[in-house]
Structure formats: C-alpha cells, structure tokens
Amino acid sequence: MMRLPSFDVAIPRTMPELLENLRPNGLGVKIMAGGTDLLVNMKQGFHISRRLVWPGRIEELRHINTQIGGEISIGAMATLSDVAASDVVKTSYPSLSKAVLSIATPAVRNRATIGGNLCLDTRCYFYNESEFWRSSLGGCLKLNIPTHGTGDVCHSAPGNAMCSAVSSSDSAPILLALGASVEIQSAQGKRIVPLSDFYANDGMRFLNLATGELLKRIILPVSRYGLRSAHNKVRSRQSVDFPLANVGIAGVVEDGRVFTYLRIYVGAIQSAPIRVPSAEALLNGREATTVLIEKGAEEAASCVKPIQNVGGTVGYRKRMVAMLVKRTLVQLLTSARD
C-alpha cells in the first residue's frame, strides 16, 4: 500500500480560526478540501506540505442557498453530491448539476467539494505519477525533484518554457459560462472577483490566490430570463475519467434561432478554461444555421492550443473541442427550457 508521508492536520471550527491557520508562517500550509485529489498526489510523493488545514467542520462553508438579491451562493466546502442534488442549483442552473455529476464517481463526489474542484491541481501525463515513476523520468517544470532532476524540462513539449499541465475541472467551464464570481477571504479581508480572474493559464501557478487566502464561496448571478446553458465532456470511459476536453456554454436564444450573449468556455485543454470570444462574436446575433454553428465550433477549436500531455493526441482533442461546441450549441438551440 502506498502510505502517506507524515503531516499535521489542523481542523479549525470557526472562520477566524481557519484564517489564523492560513496565515503565512514560513512553513507552508495547504488547504485540503475533499482530499480526493490532494491525497492521491501526496501518496505519489509530491512533497506538498507538512501541514494541512481542513475546513470541513465549518458549517458556513457548506451552504447552498439563494441570497436576498436572487444570486445563488455555494460554500466552497459543499460536496459535489450536495451541489448536484441541490434544488436551488437544479432549479436555476441544471447544467451545473449535470456538469458536477460528470465528475469522477459517486463515492468521490460524496467527499470532493465544489471549491476543491475549482482549485483542482492541473494534470499532466508526466506529473500525475508516482515518485518512483518520476524519478525514472527526471524532474519537469511543474515538479522540481531535487534528487532526481531539475525543473527546466517539459516532457510533453520539450523546449517549452512554461508548464502546460491541464485544468481538468468539470465545474469550472460551466460556472465561467454562467458568469460566476468567487469570494476570496484571508485574515486581511475579503474580495469578490469574477471566476475568470481567478484562473491563470499557467500549469504551475494556475490560481490567482495568494498565500493566506481561501476560496470561500461561489456566487452565481440571478438566472437571467431566457438564458440557456449546457456542459459536455469527452472522456474514454463513461465514469471515473477526467475530461479529454469539455465545454461550458451559456447564452440566450432569440426567436428560437439566434444566439445572443453567448459565453463559450473550453476546458481540459490548457492550464485554465479558455474563453473563445472570436467564436462567440461569429455566432452572436446571426441565424444559427448548421453552417454557422460549424464555423463557430471550428473557430473555438482554432483558439485553443492543446499539447500532448493527457490522454488523446493534439489533433483529437482539438477536434473534440469543435465537436463539443457544436453539440452543446445544438443542445441549447433545441432545449425546451427558456
């Protein structure tokens, strides 16, 4: 059995206690949400931290409710199962519920959290492997192994100066498309930022989250009249697997045939979900004919730059992006719900 390395776990009971635990102390701390990804990585010998903080006992971080203004607020520690099953979510944004249900497996979703999924470590063939495996290969940009190799090589794309490990969250693209914001808190105070500002397209530093800060909750705007949205993914098995590509799209369909206000996000290709404004522009305001949808889908695919670092070749994943965008747009056009 792979055993975890030894570490401490702090289990704060209140927000102030939690924030106190997150204060920079020079030793480094890591927040563990559900642990379903983090603990695998730690078993594989990533020397993440000697101290974990688990906010699972703080009730307010697990809420899912509608705020006075009509926005939906989801605590970062709400489990994926709770999010998917929530009436609030199912009523306003069934696409989010569906996206969340496509993550991992039922037992994982009972433990994994929405905050954890948004902060999911980026993935790469050459990174998500055991310590032994990586020692055989040597270090990489994302992983400097002092004893086994320096961190100046990218095994997926030799010559790359920047890590391209993949953002593999299935909740992020749809939340981005829906215009979600996140509340970030530290001992110094809180800030609310659009989710799009939360991500950086950098495999190593993919979250704009400073030391001491915590993703506290996700805020979804009031469901706009007529907004339709959907999430789709491609993977090789119909359970368990991370996406080879996914998309989240939200928009309004006017007269049943014209897209407006489209927001198209492509995930699982680069180190952050990628918005494709040129495809949106091409599609918005015109009659959504088959030809136009295909053009929009091709445009979306041309905007993203996969490298061969998870399953599937570059060409396949690009084609899957076009296919997913097309399929999702058609789904929006034909969905009954306004």
Residues near other proteins (CB under 8 A):
1-9, 11, 32, 35-36, 39-40, 43, 52, 54, 56, 81, 104-108, 110-111, 125, 129-130, 132-133, 135-138, 153, 155, 158, 234, 236-242, 311-313, 316, 319-320, 323, 326-327
Evaluate whether 85 touches 42 at the Cβ level (below 8 Å).
no
**Residue 279 C-beta: closest distance to other proteins, Å:** 18
Cα–Cα distances in Å, from 312 out to 86, 261, 318? 34, 32, 10
User: Of 219 and 234, which CB lies nearer to other proteins in the complex structure?
Assistant: 234
**Residue 61 C-beta: closest distance to other proteins, Å:** 14
Q: At what angle do helices 314-334 and 290-303 cross, to 10 degrees?
A: 140
DSSP state of 326: H
Evaluate whether 270 touches 167 at the Cβ level (below 8 Å).
yes
User: Of 136 and 211, which CB lies nearer to other proteins in the complex structure?
Assistant: 136
Residue 143, SS3?
Answer: coil
Picking from 72, 70, 74, 35, the residue whose alpha carbon sits closest to that of residue 54 is 35
User: Of 117 and 181, which CB lies nearer to other proteins in the complex structure?
Assistant: 117
Angle at 196 between CA 193 and CA 200, to 5 degrees: 105
User: Of 174 and 320, which CB lies nearer to other proteins in the complex structure?
Assistant: 320
**Residue 255 C-beta: closest distance to other proteins, Å:** 27
User: Of 199 and 242, which CB lies nearer to other proteins in the complex structure?
Assistant: 242
Name the token pair of 77: 């520690």
**Residue 106 C-beta: closest distance to other proteins, Å:** 5
User: Of 95 and 128, which CB lies nearer to other proteins in the complex structure?
Assistant: 128
**Residue 301 C-beta: closest distance to other proteins, Å:** 13
β-strand partners of 245: 234
User: Of 132 and 224, which CB lies nearer to other proteins in the complex structure?
Assistant: 132
**Residue 182 C-beta: closest distance to other proteins, Å:** 24
**Residue 143 C-beta: closest distance to other proteins, Å:** 14
- Name, in order, each residue with C-beta under 8 angstroms of 196's C-beta and a sequence gap of 6 or more: 176, 275
Picking from 115, 307, 324, 327, the residue whose alpha carbon sits closest to that of residue 214 is 115
Evaluate whether 245 touches 276 at the Cβ level (below 8 Å).
no
